[in-house]
């Protein structure tokens, strides 16, 4: 299938990599650099060949920037995710499916592991050991079709795939804990469909201008108390406010360092990493690849490596000389390697930035603190306010243009994107375009054709 070769890490990089830090996990496990090297160069290529397939149609391909050493650790954390989650599950740690966009402090504090769609998908496809890119593409398409047949052809693809994963017991799940009213209009229907099959706890998040809305804080705080109680019951871990505040401190550190990396990256004359590697910074900071302690350690290394690259004007591999800088609003722009190949580079996504942009107060009532932070998440603001925040972020990231994407079937987003696009255009003057898509693993011709035209326009 591959038309561009296979990713491999050159042996001459090994010694340099071995001199970097090991990964320290929350449960005390230490994975040495030697073990990581062995995994990414020997084990994973056999287990997950699709991830090493450098075909430009491969949305799941890993970065080809092999000299970006902390990226190798991110790859390790991604590809070994299933092992980590199964091990945790065997130990009685509840796996909690959450909707994206929220901060995870409460779940981890109560002894659970929160994983959103991206991690569910990663875990699911990891069951297909030895599968080629084509086989994985077919596998994910079949999951979507199962979801379609069971529920509706009108719902968004990612939500349907997750449901098929749980129905088929492909991914173990102990609790479904969505935040209602956040980003996903299909969620209400999905929750209804979960009613009898999976335990769930639902938190209603008021979409309000946060200032002077103490009722909203009280309302959300009450919901969060119910959530930690439920997770705590499942995990068997008795938690105190102090435990939650400690988790908040840890996750604040993760969010802070991710923001710092973004600022360093944005300040660079030439983009120091390609779109895949830059996208992974935010991904690592928002769901930690299921381990906030490990994520913090790797993010510290990423920060130093990115700083070094910026200092020496090193450009991420695969990027054009002066790439068009795309700020992405919405569900993402599909295949990041293809964006780079087209002459663009992704300078940020609002859905990833949203949860890392907040700082949760580290003293006082932790549930209230999380509630207050949640109500300030940029992605979850009333549409006009969100548009203003998108405009600010597109300027801060020095974007040349803004791409807004939405999933087919997403009723909420389809009703809000025009308003957001108009506000961004008005506030920044940046070219802004809206693309509706339902990308699969292999190719997403319509979306990518439009993004390519947009990049040509910017260049």
Q: Which residues bind another protein (CB under 8 A)?
A: 408, 418, 421, 431, 433-438, 445-446, 449-450, 452-454, 456-457
Cβ(23)–Cβ(86) below 8 Å: no
Instruction: Give the C-alpha separation, 100 to 367, whole Å.
Output: 19
Q: Strand locations in 266-379, DSSP E?
A: 324-330, 344-349
**Rounded to the nearest whole angstrom, what is the least distance from the CB of residue 446 to another protein in the complex?**
7
Shortest Å, Cβ 48 to another protein: 26
**Are the C-beta atoms of 124 and 170 separated by less than 8 Å?**
yes
CA angle 425, 379, 106 (to 5 degrees): 165
Q: Answer for the pair 54, 5: CB distance below 8 angstroms, yes or no.
A: yes
> Is the Cβ of residue 150 or residue 449 nearer to another protein in the bound state?
449
Q: In the bound complex, what is the minimum distance in angstroms from residue 113's beta carbon to another protein?
A: 36
Closer Cβ to another protein, 188 or 457, answer by number:
457
Nearest approach, Cβ of 189 to another protein (angstroms)? 20
Nearer to another protein, 342 or 371 (CB): 342
Q: How far apart are CA 176 and CA 380, in angstroms?
A: 20
Q: How far is the CB of 56 from another protein (least distance, A)?
A: 9
* Smallest distance from another protein to CB 421, Å: 8
Q: Are 400 and 326 in contact (CB under 8 A)?
A: yes
Instruction: Return d(Cα 24, Cα 28) in angstroms, integer.
Output: 7
Indicate the residue among 27 and 456 with the shorter CB distance to another protein. 456
Coil, strand, or helix at residue 33?
Answer: helix
Task: Please report how close the Cβ of residue 452 comes to another protein at its closest, in angstroms.
Answer: 5
Of 144 and 201, CB closest to another protein? 144
- We find the least distance from the C-beta atom of residue 338 to another protein, in angstroms, to be 11
Comparison of 151 and 435: residue with beta carbon closer to another protein:
435
Q: How far is the CB of 99 from another protein (least distance, A)?
A: 24
The whole-angstrom separation of Cα 96 and Cα 100 is 12
Closer by beta carbon to another protein, 27 or else 154: 154
For the chain, how many residues are written? 459
DSSP 58: B
Q: Reduce the DSSP state of residue 69 to 3 states and report it.
A: helix
Residue number, 286 or 403, with CB nearest to another protein: 403
CB neighbours of residue 259 within 10 Å: 17
Please name the residue ranges forming H helices in 80-116.
81-90, 105-109
3-state helix, strand, coil in the chain (%, to 5): 55, 10, 35
Phi/psi of residue 152, nearest 5 degrees? -170, 150
| Helix 117-125 × helix 275-287 angle, to 10° | 110
| Closest distance of CB 320 from another protein, Å | 14
Count CB atoms within 10 A of the CB of residue 172: 14
């Amino acid at each position: 299938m591959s038309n561009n070769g296979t990713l491999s890490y050159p042996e001459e990089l090994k010694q340099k990599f071995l001199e970097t830090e090991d990964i320290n996990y929350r449960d005390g496990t230490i994975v040495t650099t030697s073990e990581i090297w062995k995994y990414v160069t020997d084990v994973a290529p056999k287990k997950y060949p699709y991830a090493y397939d450098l075909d430009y149609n491969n949305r799941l391909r890993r970065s080809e920037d092999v000299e970006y050493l902390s990226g190798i650790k991110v790859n390790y954390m991604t590809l070994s995710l299933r092992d980590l989650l199964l091990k945790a599950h065997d130990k009685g740690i509840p796996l909690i499916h959450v909707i994206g966009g929220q901060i995870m402090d409460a779940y981890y504090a109560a002894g659970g592991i929160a994983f959103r769609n991206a991690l569910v998908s990663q875990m699911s496809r990891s069951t297909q050991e030895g599968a080629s890119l084509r086989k994985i593409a077919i596998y994910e398409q079949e999951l979507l079709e199962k979801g379609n047949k069971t529920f509706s052809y009108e719902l968004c693809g990612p939500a349907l795939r997750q449901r098929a994963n749980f129905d088929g017991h492909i991914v173990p799940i102990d609790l479904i804990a969505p935040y209602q009213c956040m980003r996903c209009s299909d969620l209400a229907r999905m929750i209804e469909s979960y009613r009898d099959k999976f335990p769930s706890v639902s938190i209603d998040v008021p979409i309000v201008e946060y200032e002077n809305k103490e009722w909203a804080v009280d309302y959300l705080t009450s919901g969060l108390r119910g959530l930690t109680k439920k997770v705590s019951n499942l995990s068997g871990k008795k938690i105190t406010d102090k435990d939650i505040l400690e988790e908040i401190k840890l996750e604040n550190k993760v969010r802070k360092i991710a923001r710092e990396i973004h600022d360093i990256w944005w300040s660079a004359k030439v983009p120091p990493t390609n779109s895949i590697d830059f996208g992974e910074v935010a991904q690592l900071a928002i769901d930690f690849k299921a381990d906030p302690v490990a994520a913090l350690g790797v993010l510290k290394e990423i920060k130093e490596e990115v700083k070094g690259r910026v200092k020496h004007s090193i450009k991420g591999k695969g990027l054009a000389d002066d790439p068009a800088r795309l700020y992405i609003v919405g569900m993402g722009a599909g295949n990041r390697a293809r964006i780079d190949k087209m002459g663009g580079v992704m300078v940020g996504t609002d859905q990833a930035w949203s949860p890392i942009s907040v700082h949760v107060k580290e003293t006082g009532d932790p549930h209230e603190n999380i509630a207050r932070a949640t109500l300030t998440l940029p992605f979850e603001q009333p549409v006009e306010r969100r548009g203003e925040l998108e405009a600010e972020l597109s300027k801060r990231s020095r974007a040349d243009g803004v791409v807004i994407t939405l999933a087919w079937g997403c009723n909420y987003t389809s009703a809000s994107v025009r308003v957001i696009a108009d506000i961004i255009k008005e506030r920044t003057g940046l070219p802004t375009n809206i693309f509706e898509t339902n990308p699969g693993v292999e190719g997403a011709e319509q979306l990518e054709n439009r993004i390519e035209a947009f990049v040509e326009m910017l260049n």
